Amino acid sequence: MPEGMIIKALSGYYYVRPDEGGDPVQCRARGIFKKRGVSPLVGDRVKFSETENGEGIVDEILPRSTELVRPPVANVDLAVLVFSVVHPDLNLLLLDKFLVHTESAGLDALIVFTKFDAADGEPDRERIVESVEAARQLYESIGYGSLVTSARRGEGIEELKRRLSGRISVFAGQSGVGKSSLLNALVPGLKLETSEISKKLGRGRHTTRHVELVPLPGGGYVADTPGFSQLDFAELGVGEIGSCFREFRELAEGCKFRGCTHVHEPGCAVLAAKERGEIAESRYANYLEFMTEWKENRRRY
Ligand code: GDP
Ligand code: ZN
């Protein structure tokens, strides 16, 4: 039975790109999925059979490595976290928040700094360039890849293509940081609406549409809808936030108490490392902020 990947789902149809190549096959799903309460997702690897009318049937969904809710995509392996260096300014609290969510979803993350060209026009250019460099050093030291780009000048686009090659990626980031511009630069002919265009047309973007995986010229796929649009900690357990800080994970094994929250406990290995300056101040401060937010969330429900 041929295998392939669902690249689009629309009105009860699944578009399956066969592994051996060729055009996507428009498929219905077997009734058994509905009975079992599972539905095929974009990104799913499937076995399918072709019917006489040139359409097909999804017969089996192969096991998923990851499963995202927003956007609903299976088997994503990389989150591209997009942050502009100006307009809007770099926001490390938000970056750490995204990282908690990507870690919790089991995704690797690549941090992409955008609009580097725009720094040139700023009176405090030096400071901006230094803060980007400092952020890159910090996150690379924790184990995250990072890149500096300018969609306008075409900087960093080839390198980004290389990093996305062979993976299924989803872009995430505040509105206005340049996600659509970056995707348009990566995929010739994609023509996603950027905010300038939606302003001209007098409408908000992201009207209800369906997620689609776009094949990249260098191999790999990217979702055409940004991810992690809703960032709260409601679905996380209390210990989980700490384990989503990569540099805390190994240290936490040395904490005196099981279930240590790394806030005030004696014999806490994370606090000790922070005192020795081995954990960045900003990371620890953001951790405390998230723990407080988490507690407030709990109280509300
Ligand atoms: P999104 O909301 O994250 O998809 O961001 P958009 O791609 O719509 O971009 C938001 C705004 O930033 C638009 O006005 C873009 O023209 C601008 N922009 C995007 N990329 C760049 C860039 O590399 N350099 C500069 N100077 N502006 C950019
Ligand atoms: Zn601890």
Question: Residue 242 belongs to a domain with what CATH number?
Answer: 1.10.40.50
CA 173 to ligand 2 centroid distance, Å: 30
Domain encompassing residue 258: 238-300
Token pair for 278: 């081995």
Mean pLDDT by 10 residues, the chain (301 residues): 95 94 94 89 97 94 94 96 96 96 95 97 96 98 98 97 97 95 90 70 58 92 89 81 95 95 96 97 97 85 61
Q: How far apart are CA 38 and CA 242, in angstroms?
A: 32
The torsion angle over the Cα atoms of residues 72, 73, 79 and 85, rounded to 10 degrees, is: -50
Structural domains counted in the chain = 3
Backbone angles phi, psi at 160, to 5 degrees: -60, -45
Q: How far apart are CA 131 and CA 112, in angstroms?
A: 14
Give, for ligand 1, the residue of 194, 206, 228 to mutate: max count of ligand atoms closer than 8 Å to Cβ: 194
Q: Nearest-CA neighbor of 187 among 226, 153, 224, 137?
A: 224
pTM, two decimal places: 0.93
Token pair for 157: 């686009």
Indicate whether 215 and 254 sit together in one domain: no
Indicate whether 104 and 214 sit together in one domain: yes
Indicate whether 198 and 256 sit together in one domain: no
Q: How far apart, in Å, are the Cα atoms of 151 and each of 32, 113, 154, 179, 257?
A: 45, 11, 5, 9, 48
Indicate whether 165 and 190 sit together in one domain: yes
Residue 140 counted as domain residue: yes
Picking from 30, 61, 92, the residue at the C-terminal end of a domain is 61
Question: For residue 197, what pLDDT is reported?
Answer: 62
Hey, what amino acid is at 254? G
Residue 70 counted as domain residue: no
Indicate whether 184 and 287 sit together in one domain: no
Indicate whether 121 and 251 sit together in one domain: no
Ligand 1 touching residue 152 (CB < 6 A): yes
Ligand 1 touching residue 186 (CB < 6 A): no
**Given the DSSP bridges, would you call strands 3-10 and 13-18 parallel, antiparallel or unpaired?**
antiparallel
Indicate whether 156 and 252 sit together in one domain: no
CATH code at 49? 2.40.50.140
Q: Nearest-CA neighbor of 144 among 216, 75, 227, 81?
A: 81
Residue 69 counted as domain residue: no
Picking from 164, 199, 223, the residue at the C-terminal end of a domain is 223
Question: For residue 141, what pLDDT is reported?
Answer: 97
Backbone angles phi, psi at 28, to 5 degrees: -95, 160
Indicate whether 31 and 153 sit together in one domain: no
**299: burial class by Cβ within 10 Å (0-12, 13-18, 19+)?**
exposed
Residue 231 counted as domain residue: no
Indicate whether 117 and 215 sit together in one domain: yes
Ligand 1 atom 20: residue of nearest CA: 178
Are the C-beta atoms of 85 and 116 separated by less than 8 Å? Answer: yes
Ligand 1 touching residue 196 (CB < 6 A): yes
Residue 88 counted as domain residue: yes
Question: For residue 239, what pLDDT is reported?
Answer: 82
Indicate whether 219 and 277 sit together in one domain: no
Indicate whether 242 and 196 sit together in one domain: no
